[in-house]
Amino acid sequence: MKIHTCRITNPNTKTSELQIRLNGRLNGDTLTNNLKNVMNNNLKIWITAALGAGCLCACEGETYDCAGQQPSTVPISIAPALAAQTRGTDITTDNFTTFGVMAYLSQGSDFNTTTSTPNFMYNQKVEKKGSAWEYTPQKYWPGNSGDKLSFFAYAPYNASGIKVPDNNATGYPRFTYTVSTKEADQTDLLAATPLMNRTYASTTGNSVTFNLKHALTKVIFNVQSEINIIVSALSVSAWTTSELTFTDSGFSWENYTGTQEFTASLTENSSGIRVTANAATPLELAAFFLLPDKTGATFSLTYQQDDENPVVMTGNAFPDTPTWEQSQRLTYLLKIKKDGVTVSSSGIGEWESDGEAVDVTGTTPP
């Protein structure tokens, strides 16, 4: 009589050893019957169809670790996918170093919009180290084929102005975001298309890859002038706070509250930014990361020609079109003349591309 021992490892519980007394070689039917008897005695063992082949060939009077062959011990690899950008204030593949993950474990069912909570990963930090993305503690795919994981991600991790949902909040995650008042402090917030109801079997290479997109509207101000001027102030009045709400296929913004004056960082010199008359190329003044709703938004501008009194323009409306949308980048061109300022919008398009130029013009008196 031999004692054959096969160790079955569950990363979430202690290792269990199943001892099977057999005469001669190991028999598959006997193994199955013994497994049933053990499970009937309420010993929970995470086991897969590979157990028969994996242990049958190795359990010959020795201890054999079957852990590497079970989904319950396969680590979850996490990585982002982000289109390369060109502007320095954007999050790019070069300066993208952290993101946060919420993961929901649904036992024996799909994600439940009323009861699911981030019980598997809660605001898990994923960090780039060298060329690899790492997180700790390591998580593993569930061994039960009926258990599913749903993943949600945002970046940067714990971004300035963001408030993550509570760890017991149910349903799709809702992040409250407040825009920083200074342009220089504003964040290029990213959010990922959710990965719903994933299993070990349905995930290629055990890797969870997030497709992160820009969640805000990038509003750029350029200027051209027919006279030599110094621009000493530029600001935008717009929504302050909103909720970034995930769905099963994406994300949107809801519940806008409060308005705020967002000020540009005009730091060329102590007086502001000098604009040369009749320059062939527009000069960029500022790039704001704002909530994607232009309702009620205005801008203010202060500039001065030589020793003349400053021209102060406050509460100027934006052109009616385009609207501000998430993941959109657009440019407003301020053309300053002796008798007023012309405002046009161009270069409108998705952040990931240059977009097609669309010109919309309106005139604001000095």
Number of Cβ within 10 Å of residue 220's Cβ equals 20
Owning domain of residue 256? 217-352
Quote the CA–CA distance of 224 and 188 in Å, as a whole number: 26
Specify the pLDDT at position 350: 61
**Domain identity same for 114 and 171:** yes
Specify the pLDDT at position 89: 61
**Domain identity same for 286 and 197:** no
Look at residue 91 and tell me if it is in a domain: yes
Domain end marker among 155, 190, 215:
215
Specify the pLDDT at position 306: 81
Tell me how many domains the chain contains: 2
Look at residue 338 and tell me if it is in a domain: yes
pLDDT tens digits for the chain (366 residues)? 433 333 333 444 333 333 323 333 334 444 444 444 433 443 332 323 333 333 333 333 333 233 333 456 778 887 677 543 433 368 877 788 999 999 999 999 999 999 999 999 999 999 999 989 999 999 999 989 899 999 999 999 999 999 999 999 999 999 999 999 999 999 999 999 999 999 999 888 788 999 999 999 999 999 999 999 999 999 999 999 999 999 999 999 999 999 999 999 997 667 899 999 999 999 999 999 999 999 999 999 999 998 889 999 999 999 998 999 999 999 999 999 988 898 998 766 565 533 332 223 233 333
Domain end marker among 197, 215, 233:
215
**Domain identity same for 250 and 120:** no
**Domain identity same for 205 and 310:** no
**Domain identity same for 251 and 203:** no
**Domain identity same for 185 and 233:** no
**Domain identity same for 107 and 86:** yes
What type of residue sits at position 194?
P
CATH of the domain at 335: 2.60.40
Q: What SS3 class is residue 125? A: strand
**Domain identity same for 121 and 154:** yes
Quote the CA–CA distance of 215 and 326 in Å, as a whole number: 5
**Domain identity same for 206 and 329:** no
Long-range pairs for 159-163: beta carbons < 8 A, 24 or more residues apart: 159/187, 159/189, 160/185, 160/187, 161/187, 162/187, 162/189
Look at residue 122 and tell me if it is in a domain: yes
Look at residue 124 and tell me if it is in a domain: yes
**Domain identity same for 222 and 210:** no
Domain end marker among 215, 241, 260:
215
**Domain identity same for 148 and 225:** no
Look at residue 50 and tell me if it is in a domain: no
**Domain identity same for 197 and 81:** yes
The token pair at 356 is 């097609």
- How many Å from the N-terminal Cα to the C-terminal Cα in the chain? 101
What's the pTM value of the predicted model, to 2 decimals? 0.74
Specify the pLDDT at position 295: 96
- Main-chain phi, psi angles of 35, to 5 degrees: -60, -45
DSSP strand pairing (63-65 vs 2-8): parallel
Look at residue 210 and tell me if it is in a domain: yes
Look at residue 37 and tell me if it is in a domain: no
Q: Look at the block and give the residue holding tokens 């199943």.
A: 18
Specify the pLDDT at position 197: 97
Specify the pLDDT at position 352: 54
Specify the pLDDT at position 216: 97
Specify the pLDDT at position 359: 29
Look at residue 365 and tell me if it is in a domain: no
